[in-house]
Structure 1
Amino acid sequence: MKITLERKNTEYLLEAKGVSGNTVMIDHSGMETVQGVSPMELLLMGVGSCSAIDIIHILKKQRQEITSYKVVVEGERYLLDDSMPFKSMHVKVILEGEIDAQKAQKAADLSFEKYCSVSKSFDKCVEITYEVELKTV
């Protein structure tokens, strides 16, 4: 896996590009005008999107009808020398549709405990908790 970063202005704005050619704008969150997401936000987005792909895939295989999928990821940071890494993350998965609650919970369990490479990358250093909220239609 490989990405490239290219500076796009005279400050901190960077364009990240993956092998697919798709791009993400990254910026310093302390700037007056922020034109991209921060690197720390990208980490939260990675956990949320990786688990989303897993959960949607598992539920589709079980013929569950997802009409809406939303994820909220919150991270708690702490001061470590001169940096502020994540101490913990909490992921709230909000599903709507014709979905069996037990199947939704099992899909989340499988994602966070077995499949999600992003959250598994944090196993030794960040506590990741999750919950599933199922809204009926």
Structure 2
Amino acid sequence: MKITLNRVNENFHFELKNDRGHIVNVDARPEFGGNDMGSSPMELVLMGVAGCSAIDMISILKKQRQVITSFKAEVEGERVQVGEAKPFKDIHVVFYLEGPINEDKAARAAQLSFEKYCSVSKTLEPTATIHYKVVLNGNPLTPEGGTSK
């Protein structure tokens, strides 16, 4: 896996490209000297959690012949000051699934993603706790949700 970064302007706007040619723009917000021409690196981390776990869950549910008519996720990260850096301390993920999906299978798919398959969340696990909840057809499956630790 390889990523190349090219600076686009004199500030903090970068174009990143993977070895398959897919491009992502990264920038800082204006209050940090950027032009807001792309997502911040920390936003990309949260997007990685969402994308990785979504791929896992949909793959698991498809193998179980579950029909997913809608799949959405919201991810929020809480950061903490550690020296000059502000890494994530807690990450909260809510999955919104719709369709004739078995509740137990939906909950188990989320659990398997975070406990076994999602490489992004496993990478973050030593420093951040990931909390997750599944909402199926408008109904939360568990009031508190799960946690990756």
- Shared topology, TM-score over 0.5? yes
Whether 1:42 aligns to 2:36 is no
Shift of residue 10, structure 1, vs aligned partner: 1.5
Q: Provide Cα deviations, 1:85-122, integer angstroms capped at 9, x if missing partner.
A: 11110110110111111100010010000000000011
- Name the CA distance, whole Å, in 1 between partners of 2:124 and 2:34: 31
Q: Which residue of 2 aligns with 1:129?
A: 131
Match of 1:51 among 40, 50, 53: 53
Q: Which residue of 1 aligns with 2:145?
A: none
Could you tell me the percent identity over the aligned residues? Answer: 53
- Name the CA distance, whole Å, in 1 between partners of 2:122 and 2:109: 16
- Name the CA distance, whole Å, in 2 between partners of 1:131 and 1:101: 12
Whether 1:23 aligns to 2:42 is no
What one-letter code is carried by the residue in structure 2 that aligns with 1:117? Answer: S
Unaligned runs of 5+ in 2: 139-149
Q: Which residue of 2 aligns with 1:8?
A: 8
Q: Which residue of 1 aligns with 2:97?
A: 95
Q: In 2 relative to 1, CA 26–52 (structure 1 residues): closer, same or farther, beyond 3 Å?
A: same
Structure with the higher fraction of residues in strand conformation: 1
Work out the number of aligned pairs and report it: 136
Q: Provide Cα deviations, 1:71-94, integer angstroms capped at 9, x if missing partner.
A: 100100011111111111011011
Unaligned runs of 5+ in 1: none
Shift of residue 31, structure 1, vs aligned partner: 4.3
Q: Is the 8 A contact 2:25 2:37 kept in 1?
A: yes
- Name the CA distance, whole Å, in 1 between partners of 2:68 and 2:122: 25
Q: Which residue of 2 aligns with 1:70?
A: 72
